[in-house]
Structure 1
Amino acid sequence: MKAKRRTGQRARTSLILGTCILLVLCLAYVLSSGEGAESLSDRLDVVMMVIAVLALVSPFFILLRTAGATAAEDEADLARRLGQAVARAEPLTRSHMGGDRVPVRVSFTFRPSPHARSATRPLVPNGTLDGLVADYWAVRPRRLVITGQPGAGKSVLARAFVAEFNESRAEEEPVPVLLPLGDWGRQELFRDWVVRHLVRDYGCTRAHAAQLMDSGLVLPVLDGLDELDEPGVLLPESRAQQVLDALTGYQSGLEPAPVVLTCRTDLYDALEASGRPMLDAARVEIDPMEAQEAVRFLAMRQDAIRREGQWRPVLDELRAHPQGVLARSLSTPWRLVAMATAYEQVNDPGELLGARTEQDATDRVFARFIPASVRAVDEEPRYSPERVHAWLHQLALQLESRGGGANTLVLPELARSPGALRARVLYAVTVGFLALVTLRVFLPDASQGSLGWGSVLLVVGITVTALLLLRPGGIRLLPHAAMGLPPWRSPLWAVAAKAAVTAHSRRGVLMLSVLPTLVLWRALAPEWLGGISDWTMALAILPTLMLYAVLVAGQALDAAVMGPSGWLRGGALVALVLLCPAGVIVGLSLRAGLGLDTVLPPLVLLGLLYCALSGDTVMYLCWLLVHFRRVPFRLSRFLDWCHVAGLIRITGGVYQFRHREFQEWLARHPIPLTRPTAPARDPATARTP
């Protein structure tokens, strides 16, 4: 193993050195004193030459990054870094537990298994949220299924498990990772799916993620088995059954690999009755929340103490009728928390006493939930409740249009959703237009020699690479994990700068600094040392070098620290890195009195190269243009604000609505304060629960 690692390191070092030598030779040839870059047209050729070489070399770096040679790191160190990323990405905030000092009490009970292949259970289980990790350690093999009614707190229990397990994890123990099951495809292996999420959500390289999986250092905590299928799907043909079959065969050597799964009670009962549940697992059932717990939770909140007169009728109704309409509508932690938030400070909770059905009470709560959440963020909120409702309605429709219980909102994938054909067409038209303009410039030169044909082939290659991004599995010259950046004013930038010059990444930083150093040397050095002593040129390219340094520093951080919108900031920075030389070209051309025919070719080529380097960003912008006025143009900023307001939750690198029930309600109600309507799903016609 060590010999393979040394071989991989030598291969990586040789490729990096060869690339740098190639760049040095190219620059030495085109920038040599005498005939190299004395005229403006030659300087423009230099810029295009450097861009062309970088475009040719970039795929080799990407292939090298995903090769097995990069996996030659200590597994304990990889697990430690993944654990840090998970801890930052999955904090157990107050909003998950009720938004007040007094949380909702969640308890559970171990249920006996109807089949012989079940895990051993603890003799004296704790049965509480705080004791879940201790109960899990007593399970052999370590496979656990968490079941409960809709809104019972399965996701909260899973999130609490991840946070507490990760906090007490020893070096040799696996890292718990919360993964939403919504995007697991039927043809994708479970291992490959987990690896994809580790790369997308937590910034791991594909080789490192595969190494952690193969070493058994990842504990998948799978949330949302009940959200995979639409009602009416036969159980043997359902995606949920496929997941259970895959997990039954998920092994660590000869033993069942550890895994935690959440599912709705009625669906898992049906899967167990069908004879194909997940084997070698213990099952816990979240206890129903009784009316006295709802009374205790509501009575202890600050608003109930301050406005005792308005809350007393509600509490009296819950005490007097523990099985009434109001008690049944508040029978889950999620609904109870939503109700407490909706009637905080200003709204009168007594209006719920007039609800005749559970659906009526739920509609009244959700109608108040968004305005109350918006008001809780700021006294003068950035967005009005009406606009927030309308925008979230559009996003809910986007998820519902995908079918299959989609509940994850990944911004780079919006343009690839089934209803985003116009956005993809707009992107293809943009790339085609840039390619045609560029080819029209280079085709007349192709007949004069091989250099012209080489330029044409380069343009065609960049165009094909940009168009391949239309496919979900298209080749990316810059993966999302390599482009993610923290917020511009974040203190994480100091951490990134320090991490970029540590012993672990110092060699890579030095290698990446060769090209900027040579370009800056050429601009500042005297002529007898191969430079041109042009301080104007040096000042012009200095912003590009600074942005380049910021991009290198940002890659030293984990993607989970940057959040789901970190890739978008990285794409914006790549655009600035290419925009600065474009500005230099325009400035020099105007100063020299040259026309549009001289300025246009490098500008168009830069735009085409940006589509190849950051096509996901361009497609995302196309999607925003197509959905203009339906969603805010700064959508990531809006979703981050919704996360603070408690309307959206962040799981790894994706956004999710606070609850699936809330998502479905928004999809049915385009206008705030809409009167109750019929449910979207009719249980009488469903074959799967």
Structure 2
Amino acid sequence: MGLAELVAGLGMLGASGWAVVQLWRGNQNPGDTSSIMALVYAAVGLPIALAGLKAAWPQPDDALELAEKAAGTLAGKVRKTEGRQLRALVGGDQERLTLTFTRRPYDRARGEGPEQGQLKGNGPSAGPDYPDIATYYQSCTKPRLVITGAPGAGKTVLSVELVRELIKRRKPDGPVPVRVSLAEWDTKVPLEKLLIDHVIKAGISEERATWILEHQLVLPVLDGLDEMDPGLTDGDGNPVRGPDGRQLPDPQAPRALAALKVLNEYGAVVAEQPLILMCRTDHYNGLPVTERLCHAVGIDIDPISYVQIQAHLTVLFEHDPRWRAFLDALPARWSDPQYGAVLRETLTTPWWLFLVKTVYDRSGDPSELFTCTTTQALRDRLLSLFIPAVVDSGATRYDAERVRRWLSTIACHLQNRPVAVERIHQHQLWPIAGEHHVRYLDAAAAGLLFLLLLLPVPLLTGIWSPELIGLISLGAVLMAWKAAGQAGDFPPCVPWGRVFSEATLLLLITGLPPAFVLAALGGLVSLPAALLFSGIGWDWFVTFIPTLIIFWSVWMGTIILEGSGISQAFTSMYPTDVNTAVRWRYVFRGDLLIGCLMFIAAGISTMTAWWVMSFSNTLTITSVPGLDIAAVGLLAVSARWVMVFGGGRRHLVFLLCLQGQLPRRLGRFLKWSHQVGLLRTSGGAYQFRHREFQQWLAATSPAGHGIT
């Protein structure tokens, strides 16, 4: 039995019992009798209506068919999202290299697969013995695949292409590949819950998302196992770096090992549970063999060969004198015992080769790379020129210096969090402006908003008693204290098209009836309570019962409204690209819409509880002024609204505190950065184009910049 059925049943029993007592006592006129019977009919009709609604709702027998239809909808959304992601990753580079991969050495409970494969680019194929990535996966003896590669080897592009190709080949009853980031996954949360939440964010209802998972219609493509834990440190907490300057992976990696333990137990028959996992080669090789993904085939992305690099750059820049000189000198430099290793360690990965092409596409001399004597110096040179090259490549309102400063601020903020993360959510960037500053100013704003909402009470009643002023002031202090402790979760986000939509209707249907029933139940409870306290001589408390019941009814009604529909109707219905969807005027609109709905629920609760209590001969409800009752209801709903919903308010405070650290129109800047290739998207959040780019921005930023 659900909460709605329980509340409706209690309301029916309470109303029926109270009606029997009243009719037994007699002395009612026809109008009183009609009112009593109307209440009974309403209480009895509510469970019947709920039963009818439940009967009309899709039943478990229909779940498979509905899940397959929902999976088809999900596949279409994923296809569009991954298409945008691929365009952002590739950019204007129309000449894509062919990537090859080789089967990894067997780990544990191995599966069988071809020895090698490819992701074909615009150039020549690697050969007939190299199947494409989707064909490779489908030809494996077990549907579990591990993809590893060096930093910048092309794992993300490979996974995007794999997802897109699998969707093209998908049958109506086949699973939908969905890319999910593991970086911020709390392994205490079940994997099924993580996947359901991801499907919901793609625009599928929670119930249908659950059906999709129950019928195994999701193929998880899990990225970021190597991002779950910080790197290896020495006894003093300093990073331990390898010969190439990168921080070495931690072989203990507690979160990654916990994730692998969950994955190795996922599914009724683990060996038959489809799963794709991606990780950096050195991180995965550093983990104990006994803890790696079992019942899986592993592949490792190969470095780009010198022949591929030479042919690729020749096709792109054959008629450019700057590049012609570079290509003429490249063979000798490549084999040079002193400088060759620097070039080989850098240019053989797609990421660094992409940077070389981007940086020197329009200006500059690529031959200056030959002067770099270390791998780190060469990479620092390319990274320092990346933002200026992107800014110069097209008309934009931003200059390179400000873009670098803003991105460095964000990178430093991410790097200095308790657990370094890579996902950029707008609503979580507010600590950049000074965590204490934003918290305290937001607390002050919450208290002020509470005072403004309750200002009509003394104005309408004409009562400015010390007790009333003290009560309102205490409420403002409590609201400020509550706001100061909020962390800033996803705020409700409501475009105009969803104000008058199924989501709002769902919120009204699921939230308002329980609020009505709870208010009626509160009124019913007050009737015997009034008799009891009157019988023992507590008449002073009897006069307080109406106020207490009104406050309780409104408070519980708004809680029911909040819990029954808001998370499903708005917060959980974000598109996959959350940051594109979350425009802050939508956040303010969401706060206002939810506030209006909460005030409607408060009005219904107040009138219902007042009406039920009016049947009592003990409660002197008619002696309580209507404005006083309204004031109590306003106090409850104002407190609840200010406590729960403040995304727009906190963002406004965040903007006022920025002081130039980030652009005022932050969403527009992040969207532009994504469009030009400085950022990418993953799991509904922005990320820097590459982790090394983020780390370089944080390392070259002034110490402590943006952190308080």
| TM beyond 0.5 | yes
**C-alpha spacing 1:572/1:507, structure 2 compared with 1 (3 Å):** closer
Partners in 2 of 1:70 and 1:390 — Cα distance? Answer: 55
Partners in 2 of 1:358 and 1:352 — Cα distance? Answer: 10
* Matching residue of 2:391: 374
Partners in 1 of 2:417 and 2:328 — Cα distance? Answer: 44
Is the contact made by 1:216 and 1:252 (CA closer than 8 Å) also made in structure 2? no
What is the total number of aligned residue pairs between the two structures?
Answer: 532
Q: Which of 386, 398, 402 is the equivalent residue of 2:413?
A: 398
Is the contact made by 1:423 and 1:626 (CA closer than 8 Å) also made in structure 2? yes
* Matching residue of 2:660: 629
Is the contact made by 1:90 and 1:651 (CA closer than 8 Å) also made in structure 2? no
5 Å-filtered alignment, 1:119-134, equals: 119-122=111-114, 125-129=116-120, 131-134=132-135
Deviation of the 1:382 alpha carbon: 1.1
5 Å-filtered alignment, 1:451-462, equals: none
Partners in 2 of 1:639 and 1:421 — Cα distance? Answer: 25
TM-score, with structure 1 as normaliser = 0.66
5 Å-filtered alignment, 1:470-509, equals: 470-471=485-486, 483=493, 485=495
Deviation of the 1:99 alpha carbon: 3.0
Partners in 2 of 1:214 and 1:333 — Cα distance? Answer: 39
* Matching residue of 2:194: 193
1:127 partner letter:
Q
5 Å-filtered alignment, 1:533-544, equals: none
Is the contact made by 2:446 and 2:479 (CA closer than 8 Å) also made in structure 1? no
1:210 partner letter:
T
Partners in 2 of 1:397 and 1:618 — Cα distance? Answer: 25
Deviation of the 1:375 alpha carbon: 2.1
Partners in 1 of 2:406 and 2:488 — Cα distance? Answer: 29
* Matching residue of 2:261: 245
**C-alpha spacing 1:314/1:437, structure 2 compared with 1 (3 Å):** same
Q: Secondary structure at the match of 1:322?
A: helix
Q: Which stretch shifts more, 428-437 or 382-391?
A: 428-437
Q: Which of 589, 592, 595 is the equivalent residue of 1:573?
A: 589
The CA RMSD over aligned residues, in Å, is 4.7
Partners in 2 of 1:429 and 1:256 — Cα distance? Answer: 56
Is the contact made by 1:89 and 1:652 (CA closer than 8 Å) also made in structure 2? no
* Matching residue of 1:543: none
Q: Secondary structure at the match of 1:216?
A: coil
Q: Which of 103, 107, 111 is the equivalent residue of 1:110?
A: 103
Partners in 1 of 2:182 and 2:429 — Cα distance? Answer: 18
5 Å-filtered alignment, 1:28-427, equals: 74-91=66-83, 92-97=85-90, 99-115=92-108, 117-122=109-114, 125-129=116-120, 131-199=132-200, 201-232=201-232, 235-236=251-252, 238-252=254-268, 255-273=271-289, 275-301=290-316, 304-307=317-320, 309-322=321-334, 324=340, 325-378=342-395, 381-415=396-430, 420-427=435-442
Partners in 2 of 1:461 and 1:187 — Cα distance? Answer: 37
Q: From the CA coordinates, give the structure whose radius of gyration is larger.
A: 2
Cα shift readout 1:536-562 (whole Å, capped 9, x = no counterpart): xxxxxxxxxxxxxxxx99999861367
Is the contact made by 1:177 and 1:218 (CA closer than 8 Å) also made in structure 2? yes
Partners in 2 of 1:484 and 1:655 — Cα distance? Answer: 21
Cα shift readout 1:138-179 (whole Å, capped 9, x = no counterpart): 223311111111111111111211222223222211111112
Q: Secondary structure at the match of 1:144?
A: strand
Q: Which of 636, 640, 646 is the equivalent residue of 1:615?
A: 646
Cα shift readout 1:14-58 (whole Å, capped 9, x = no counterpart): 99xx9xxxxxxxxxxxxxxxxxxxxxxxxxxxxxxxxxxxxxxxx
* Matching residue of 1:645: 676
Partners in 2 of 1:222 and 1:99 — Cα distance? Answer: 27
Deviation of the 1:96 alpha carbon: 2.1
Cα shift readout 1:121-149 (whole Å, capped 9, x = no counterpart): 24x65333581111111223311111111
Q: Secondary structure at the match of 1:656?
A: strand
Is the contact made by 1:176 and 1:218 (CA closer than 8 Å) also made in structure 2? yes
Partners in 1 of 2:592 and 2:508 — Cα distance? Answer: 22
**C-alpha spacing 1:137/1:555, structure 2 compared with 1 (3 Å):** same
Is the contact made by 1:224 and 1:263 (CA closer than 8 Å) also made in structure 2? yes
Partners in 2 of 1:567 and 1:462 — Cα distance? Answer: 30
In the alignment, does 2:680 pair up with 1:670? no
Greater relative CO (CA pairs within 8 A, separation 6+): 1
Q: Secondary structure at the match of 1:347?
A: coil
**C-alpha spacing 1:208/1:465, structure 2 compared with 1 (3 Å):** farther
TM-score, with structure 2 as normaliser = 0.65
Partners in 2 of 1:352 and 1:70 — Cα distance? Answer: 66
**C-alpha spacing 1:88/1:606, structure 2 compared with 1 (3 Å):** farther
Is the contact made by 1:151 and 1:333 (CA closer than 8 Å) also made in structure 2? yes
Deviation of the 1:419 alpha carbon: 7.0
In the alignment, structure 2 segments of 5+ residues that lack a partner are 13-52, 121-130, 234-249, 513-567, 598-631, 704-708
* Matching residue of 1:534: none
Deviation of the 1:433 alpha carbon: 2.8
Deviation of the 1:263 alpha carbon: 0.9
Partners in 1 of 2:689 and 2:479 — Cα distance? Answer: 40
2:318 partner letter:
I
Partners in 2 of 1:150 and 1:439 — Cα distance? Answer: 57
Identity %: 29
Partners in 2 of 1:603 and 1:310 — Cα distance? Answer: 73
Deviation of the 1:406 alpha carbon: 0.8
Deviation of the 1:618 alpha carbon: 2.6
**C-alpha spacing 1:254/1:553, structure 2 compared with 1 (3 Å):** closer
Partners in 1 of 2:573 and 2:206 — Cα distance? Answer: 16
Partners in 1 of 2:481 and 2:589 — Cα distance? Answer: 18
Cα shift readout 1:211-252 (whole Å, capped 9, x = no counterpart): 322321222211121122222265345221111111111114
Cα shift readout 1:489-542 (whole Å, capped 9, x = no counterpart): xxxx7xx89x958xxx89859979x9xxxxxxxxxxxxxxxxxxxxxxxxxxxx
Partners in 1 of 2:508 and 2:642 — Cα distance? Answer: 27
